[in-house]
């Protein structure tokens, strides 16, 4: 038995918020701000967006390690936040997130038609998220009401390590019966999500405008002048540079062209690990 490179993609592994639902990735961001506020610690929306893509406990831990936020916490509690303090914030975050997830549950405009087309071209649709399962169950339910059902879903607490580790992406490979990681493309709006795909040996596509990095509503994005949009693209491209995505596109609606290009590259013998 001999190894041969895959000649076309078999699956797209998609993030959720900022990728398929919740244009601008507002659902988790606002709740981080509210959860910290319940402990009388101010965190800005911009600060809350910083570690986006990680599991939510890790996200809170990372925020608590930001010197300015740690100092605000110390002024209230007389100490910098411990892991127990992080867990206390997380335990307040979770019910708030579940309560308000429906507010930002709309599919990204055009996403459903795009994914229908990819499925018609033979791709399976896997998915993973920085949300834990208790939140993902609600996200999945709401998405189904809007017509989107992924072939597989992996929450951040269903593997030993969340992003930027590759476990969630690889769990999709196993569940979907994909025979080669190079036949998968990971699509995400965050650096940890792109690193996840890279470390899993997949092709990677970073979403520049629909998610956390731009942080605008669909209407806000559409209202940007051409000059401002190009300036924001350049800024966000620089943010993603260290994670080395194979492609950067505005939204998931440009994914079919990327899939076609990856298939051309695979047919020529190119592999994601080599680029």
Is 85 tagged catalytic?
Answer: no
Cα radius of gyration (the chain) = 19
Task: For residue 85, say whether it is annotated as part of any ligand binding site.
Answer: no
Task: For residue 17, say whether it is annotated as part of any ligand binding site.
Answer: yes
Bridge partners, 126 (sequence order): 13, 152
First to last CA, the chain: 27
Task: For residue 84, say whether it is annotated as part of any ligand binding site.
Answer: no
Q: CB-based contacts of 53: which residues, under 8 Å, 6+ apart?
A: 15, 130, 163, 164, 188, 189, 190, 191, 192, 193, 212
In degrees rounded to 5, what are phi and psi of residue 127? -155, 155
* Catalytic residue (one of 15, 22, 58, 85): 15
Under a CB-based contact definition with an 8 Å cutoff, are residues 214 and 186 in contact?
no
How many Å apart are CA 16 and CA 232, to the nearest integer?
A: 22
Is 56 tagged catalytic?
Answer: yes
How many Å apart are CA 226 and CA 233, to the nearest integer?
A: 10
DSSP 204-265: EEEESSSSTTT---HHHHHHS-HHHHHHHHHHHHHHHGGG--SEEESSGGGHHHHHHHHHHH
* Catalytic residue (one of 22, 56, 124, 188): 56
What residue numbers does the annotated binding site for Mg(2+) cover?
A: 15, 17, 189
Which residues participate in catalysis according to the annotation?
A: 15, 56
């Amino acid at each position: 038995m001999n190894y041969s490179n895959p000649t076309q993609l078999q699956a797209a592994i998609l993030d959720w918020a900022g990728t398929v639902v919740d244009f601008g990735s507002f659902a988790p961001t606002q709740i981080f701000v509210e959860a910290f506020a319940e402990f009388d610690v101010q965190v800005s929306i911009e600060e809350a967006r910083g570690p986006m893509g990680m599991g939510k406990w890790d996200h809170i831990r990372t925020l608590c390690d930001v010197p300015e936020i740690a100092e605000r916490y110390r002024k209230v509690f007389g100490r910098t936040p411990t892991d127990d303090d992080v867990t206390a914030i997380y335990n307040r975050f979770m019910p708030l997130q579940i309560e308000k997830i429906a507010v930002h549950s709309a599919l990204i405009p055009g996403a459903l038609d795009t994914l229908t087309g990819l499925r018609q071209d033979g791709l399976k649709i896997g998915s993973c998220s920085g949300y834990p399962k208790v939140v993902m169950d609600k996200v999945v339910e709401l998405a189904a009401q809007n017509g989107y059902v992924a072939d597989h879903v992996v929450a951040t607490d269903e593997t030993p390590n969340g992003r930027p580790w590759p476990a969630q992406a690889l769990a999709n490979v196993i569940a979907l019966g994909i025979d080669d990681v190079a036949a998968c493309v990971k699509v995400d709006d965050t650096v940890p999500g792109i690193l996840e795909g890279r470390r899993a040996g997949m092709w990677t596509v970073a979403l520049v405008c629909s998610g956390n990095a731009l942080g605008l509503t669909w209407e806000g994005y559409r209202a940007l002048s051409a000059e401002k949009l190009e300036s924001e693209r350049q800024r966000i491209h620089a943010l993603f540079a260290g994670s080395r995505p194979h492609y950067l596109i505005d939204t998931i609606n440009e994914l079919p062209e990327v899939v076609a290009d990856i298939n051309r590259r695979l047919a020529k013998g190119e592999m994601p690990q080599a680029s």
